[in-house]
């Protein structure tokens, strides 16, 4: 018993040390839990007690956070956790064989942890490597372009006790911080545009901003016509003006690097190649609105970028362009799509479960810890730095009437050249498909699952806020693909990612998925189409945040653009009896209990 | 021209409490006027137990909790032009469907029957057995609303629905001018 007490005390010391590292601050709960998870491979009840004591919260408050995020676990995980992206794009690229190879080598199925505590195998939604699938995370190391053979090889090295980095890339340990990033993941920049991916002069935008009054910076950003690149497309200048105009002692600038929308990976490339420009844009925003604190919310899946980003920040501090008043910290996420929604993102930064907040108040008036907060996408900040350097007129001249400048598109799926394309707003879908070698596309998912699924008759539509808006995801599907399989997968994504606060989103998406399954089984009738539309309408109308308001989009846009797919699968019921009702399975349990057969439905009931 | 024949109405109580049939009688003296236009065919009200001819309207009380309910419901669908689910049990499963909540057990049906006949704290069951006479229909895995088993044309809400809503629905259906329910008529008490 003395030994257990000794171990317990030592454990508590380690946790106390982790909590102390974050000032015993309850608002840093997510950081604390991530470190505990890394040290112990799970968040045990005893750990939760210790954390609660250190930060002055109840145990249930700690558990509320720990149970919310999928990268935190309430049961012991393996020392090495392999998370395979199970997105539809990975499935189409041969995920099954990769899973089978890992499962066979490690002796565990997805969802399991090996008995010796060495390995866990899991599925996870899109990890932002859609241009190099199938992809997986092995602890924080990213492995791309997996094949059966490569999965076997990696698993064997892991079993031999080789660290994940070395197991994926022999020689990993000798590489420098930035080299590691580039060795793990390809950039696949296919088309560099004038604003972001072409040649860029360092800190020129910031120099220009330093010579301007804060109000003049906001004027310039507004005059450029820049709209947010995270999906919603709100005018950036207006957002900043609201934040600057709210009376407050503190203001905060947050960069949204959660990039959770399946099919989106352009922020990954920006953070790899243009991190300086992103931080420069944040620093300009801070000057414009009067903020001293900046936070980059980096999705947990991009943990492999963390050291690199810290190095860039350190280097900016050394150059004197950061840390003189305004400074930036990086908040790591923990595997929750909804944390990309700005309210949920702020909750997460505050150390709470990543649940959206009721709006209004909007973050620009009451955001992080109640202070005015500007949340912008990674790409948006980079645009800001460039347009201050080159002038708002230069930026405004590119693009279309209501969408100015260039946009990054992440193209993946059935195409020859998946990767990132920087193009002025207003390109036809057809032109982008031609660049990507996807002329034979049969369907394109514009903007990811929450966006719009279009067919060939819509390929002349334009990529801009006037027509097809997108945060950047362009997922291509050939005529080999089953539309309803895709819709079914996207609904399972939303079912998995709903935070559960609103019943229509938590339950309604499950019902939508079930209805789609009915079509796939050929059991649907005409009235199921009406049901899909009505239920979708209810979910959109009654959900609190953008997740629920967009989650029926895969259903609605495929119904609109692929009506024949649905029509071909509906049939009137036979004799008015529902195809989904199966009397045999309904009475099977009772047969077993009564130990006799049915005198109505079993012809040979007397036997 | 000959007089148009009276509309033939069939009714049945499946997994219901007969309250919805009582509610049919709540139409009170309006029944007399209605009877000039309809005649009851297969129904507990006439004690006719099988279909001998096609009916215009079938009215179903209660959902399906056993195989006989399913069989009867399918018979109704086959023999009636228009099928109406009357009351919450027919529409949603209602009170009997409370047993559907026992869904997380390994064998939900067995657990339900054991609690009802063997292990429940307020039981007086001298045999200590789950009833299993061969004439008893097999119980379904869960209680199904009618619309999960067959196509249903109309659903009259309420537990029990008021005599008013039953009357106005039947009267307007017979005249071919049914357009939906009056909000005030939808009550649950
Ligand atoms: C469910 C959901 C997920 C989101 N995910 C992201 C994301 O990963 N990255 C992002 O920049 N914006 C995301 N957004 C949009 C943000 O809420 C917010 O509008 C955006 O960060 C604002 O920046 P912008 O104006 O520069 O686009 C998401 C929104 C919702 C509803
Ligand atoms: S809409 Fe969905 S994700 Fe958004 S708050 Fe409601 S339940 Fe959560
Ligand atoms: S709906 Fe109400 S009145 Fe009608 S059968 Fe069910 S419990 Fe009885
Ligand atoms: S990494 Fe699998 S779809 Fe994005």
The residue in chain A having the minimum alpha-carbon distance to the alpha carbon of residue B71 is A600
pTM assigned to the model:
0.89
- Is there an atom of ligand 3 within 6 Å of B156 CB? no
Q: How confident is the model at residue B189, as a pLDDT?
A: 66
The residue of B15, B138, B144, B147 whose CB has the most chain A CBs within 10 angstroms, and thus the best one to mutate to test that interface, is: B138
The distance from CA A133 to its chain's CA centroid, rounded to whole angstroms, is: 16
Domain count, chain B: 1
Q: Which of B14, B95, B98, B157 to mutate to test the pocket of ligand 3 (most atoms within 8 A of CB)?
A: B95
Which structural domain range is residue B171 located in?
7-98+139-185
What is A377-399 written as a DSSP string? EHHHHHHHHHHHHH-HHHHHTSB
Ligand 3 centroid vs A578 CA: distance in angstroms?
23
Question: Smallest CA–CA separation between A505 and chain B, in Å?
Answer: 21
In a domain, B129, yes or no: no
pLDDT mean over A575-583 = 93
In the numeric block, the tokens 């150059």 are attached to: A319
For residues A499-505, give the mean pLDDT. Answer: 97
In terms of Cα–Cα distance, which of A393, A390, A376 is closest to A207?
Answer: A390
Which residue's C-alpha comes closest to atom 6 of ligand 3?
B89
Q: Which residues from chain B sit within 8 angstroms of residue A595, using beta carbons?
A: 132
- Would you give the end-to-end CA distance of chain A in angstroms? 63
CATH H superfamily, domain A191-396: NADH-ubiquinone oxidoreductase 51kDa subunit (3.40.50.11540)
CA–CA distance, B78 with B70 (Å, rounded to integer) = 12
pLDDT at position A3 is 37
What is the predicted pLDDT for the residue at B187?
Answer: 73
Beta strands in chain B (DSSP E): 7-13, 38-40, 55-61, 64-66, 80-86, 139-144, 154-156
User: If you average pLDDT over residues A42-46, what whole number do you get?
Assistant: 97
Q: What is the mean pLDDT of chain A?
A: 96
Read off the pLDDT of residues A162-214 as tens digits, 9 standing for 90 and up: 999 999 999 999 999 999 999 999 999 999 999 999 999 999 999 999 999 99
Q: B90-123: per-residue pLDDT in tens?
A: 999 999 999 999 888 899 999 999 999 999 999 9
Q: Which residues contact A361 (CB under 8 A, 6 or more apart)?
A: none
Residue A606 pLDDT exceeds 60: no
ipTM associated with this complex? 0.92
Give the whole-number percent of chain A exceeding pLDDT 90: 96
Question: At a CB cut-off of 8 Å and minimum separation 6, what does A478 contact?
Answer: A414, A440, A441, A442
CA–CA gap between residue A355 and residue A333 (Å, rounded) = 13
State the pLDDT confidence band at B2, using cuts at 50, 70 and 90.
low
Ligand 3 pocket, residue B59 CB under 6 Å: no
Considering the four listed CATH numbers 3.90.950.10, 3.40.50.2000, 3.30.70.1350, 1.20.1440.230, the one that applies to the domain covering A483-594 is 1.20.1440.230
Give the domain ranges of chain A.
9-66, 82-177, 191-396, 406-477, 483-594
Q: Is pLDDT of B4 > 50?
A: yes
pLDDT bin (cut points 50, 70, 90) of residue A399 is very high
Q: How far apart are CA A597 and CA A584, in angstroms?
A: 11
- What are the backbone dihedrals phi and psi of residue B174, each rounded to the nearest 5 degrees, phi first? -65, -35
- The β-bridge partners of A80 are A119
Instruction: Taking residues A78-85, report their average pLDDT.
Output: 98
What are the pLDDT digits (tens) for A218-269? 999 999 999 999 999 999 999 999 999 999 999 999 999 999 999 999 999 9
Shortest Cα distance, chain A CAs vs residue B84, angstroms = 13
Report whether residue A129 contacts ligand 4, using a CB cutoff of 6 Å: yes
Question: pLDDT per residue over A270-313, tens digit each?
Answer: 999 999 999 999 999 999 999 999 999 999 999 999 999 999 99
Q: What is the DSSP string of B125-164?
A: -TT-S----TTSPPEEEEEE-GGGTB--SEEE--SSPPHH
Candidate CATH numbers 3.40.50.300, 3.90.1110.10, 1.10.3720.10, 3.40.30.10; the one for domain A82-177? 3.40.30.10
Asked whether A347 and A357 are in contact (CB, 8 A), the reply is: yes
CATH number for the segment(s) A406-477: 3.10.20.600
**Lookup: tokens for A7:** 């171990």
Please check whether residue B40 lies inside any domain of the structure: yes
B91 CB-side CA count, 13 A: 14
pLDDT attached to residue A4? 41
Contact A576 B77 (CB under 8 A): yes
Our CA angle for A83, A86, A90, nearest 5°, is: 115
Q: What is the mean pLDDT of residues A541-551?
A: 97
Sorting pLDDT into bands at 50, 70 and 90, what band is A5?
very low
Assess whether pLDDT exceeds 70 at residue B3: no
């Amino acid at each position: 018993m003395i030994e257990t007490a000794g171990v317990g005390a030592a454990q508590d010391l380690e946790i106390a040390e982790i909590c102390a590292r974050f000032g015993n601050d309850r608002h840093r709960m997510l950081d604390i839990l991530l470190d505990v998870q890394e040290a112990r491979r799970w968040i045990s009840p005893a750990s939760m007690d210790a954390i609660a004591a250190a930060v002055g919260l109840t145990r249930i408050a700690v558990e509320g956070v720990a149970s919310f995020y999928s990268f935190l676990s309430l049961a012991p995980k393996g020392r090495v956790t392999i998370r395979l992206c199970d997105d539809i794009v990975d499935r189409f690229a041969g995920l099954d064989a990769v899973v089978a190879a890992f499962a066979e080598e490690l002796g565990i199925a997805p969802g399991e942890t090996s008995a010796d505590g060495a390995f866990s195998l899991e599925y996870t939604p899109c990890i932002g490597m859609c241009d190099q699938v199938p992809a997986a995370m092995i602890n924080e190391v990213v492995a791309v372009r997996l094949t059966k053979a490569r999965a076997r090889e990696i698993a064997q090295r892991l079993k031999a006790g080789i660290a994940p980095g070395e197991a994926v890339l022999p020689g990993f340990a000798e590489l420098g911080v930035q080299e590691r990033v580039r060795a793990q993941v390809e950039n696949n920049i296919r088309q560099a545009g004038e604003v972001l991916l072409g040649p860029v002069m360092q800190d020129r935008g910031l120099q220009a901003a330093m010579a301007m009054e804060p109000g003049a910076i906001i004027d310039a950003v507004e005059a450029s016509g820049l709209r947010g690149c995270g999906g919603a497309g709100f005018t950036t200048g207006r957002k900043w003006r609201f934040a600057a105009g709210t009376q407050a002692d503190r203001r905060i600038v947050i960069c949204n690097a959660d990039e959770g929308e399946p099919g989106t990976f352009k922020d990954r490339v920006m953070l790899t190649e243009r991190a300086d420009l992103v931080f420069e844009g944040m620093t300009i925003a801070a000057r414009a609105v009067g903020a001293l604190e900046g936070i980059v919310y980096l999705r947990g899946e991009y943990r492999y970028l963390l050291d690199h980003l810290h190095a860039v920040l350190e280097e900016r501090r050394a150059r004197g362009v950061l840390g003189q008043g305004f400074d930036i910290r990086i908040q790591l996420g923990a595997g929750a799509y909804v944390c990309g929604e700005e309210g949920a993102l702020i909750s997460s930064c505050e150390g709470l479960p990543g649940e959206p907040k009721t709006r209004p108040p909007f973050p620009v008036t009451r955001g992080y810890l109640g202070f005015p907060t500007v949340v912008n996408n990674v790409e948006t900040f980079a645009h800001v730095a460039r347009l201050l350097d080159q002038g708002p007129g230069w930026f405004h001249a590119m693009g279309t009437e209501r969408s100015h400048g260039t946009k990054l598109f992440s193209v993946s799926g059935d195409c020859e050249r998946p990767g990132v394309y920087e193009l002025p707003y207003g390109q036809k879908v057809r032109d982008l498909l031609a660049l990507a070698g996807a002329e034979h596309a049969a369907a394109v998912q514009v903007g990811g699952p929450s966006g719009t699924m279009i067919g060939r008759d819509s390929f002349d539509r334009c990529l801009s806020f006037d027509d097809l808006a997108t945060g950047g995801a362009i997922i291509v599907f050939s005529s080999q693909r089953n539309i309803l399989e895709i819709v079914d997968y996207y609904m399972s994504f939303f079912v998995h990612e709903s935070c559960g606060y609103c019943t229509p989103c938590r339950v309604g998406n499950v019902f939508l998925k079930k209805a789609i399954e009915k079509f796939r089984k050929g059991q649907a009738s005409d009235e199921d189409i009406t049901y899909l539309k009505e239920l979708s309408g209810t979910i959109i109308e009654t959900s609190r945040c953008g997740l629920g308001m967009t989650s029926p989009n895969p259903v609605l846009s495929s119904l609109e653009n692929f009506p024949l797919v649905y029509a071909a699968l509906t049939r009137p019921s036979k004799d008015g009896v529902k195809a989904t009702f199966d009397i045999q399975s309904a009475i099977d349990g009772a047969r077993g209990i009564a130990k006799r057969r049915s005198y109505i439905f079993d012809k040979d009931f007397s036997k | 021209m000959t007089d148009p024949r009276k509309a033939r109405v069939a009714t049945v109580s499946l997994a219901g409490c007969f309250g919805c049939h009582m509610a049919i009688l709540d139409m009170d003296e309006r029944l007399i006027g209605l009877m000039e236009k309809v005649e009851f065919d297969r129904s507990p009200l006439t004690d006719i137990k099988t279909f001998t001819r096609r009916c215009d309207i079938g009215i179903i009380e209660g959902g399906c909790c056993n195989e006989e309910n399913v069989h009867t419901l399918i018979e109704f669908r086959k023999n009636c032009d228009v099928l109406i689910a009357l009351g919450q049990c027919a529409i949603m499963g209602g009170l009997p469907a409370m047993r559907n909540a026992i869904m997380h057990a390994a064998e939900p049906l067995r657990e339900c029957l054991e609690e009802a006949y063997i292990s429940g704290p307020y039981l007086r069951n001298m045999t200590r057995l789950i009833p299993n006479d061969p004439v008893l229909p097999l119980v379904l895995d869960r209680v199904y609303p009618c619309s999960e088993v067959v196509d249903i044309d109309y659903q009259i809400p309420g537990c029990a629905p008021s005599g008013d809503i039953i009357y106005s629905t039947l009267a307007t259906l017979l005249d071919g001018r049914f357009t939906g329910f009056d909000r005030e008529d939808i009550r649950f008490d």
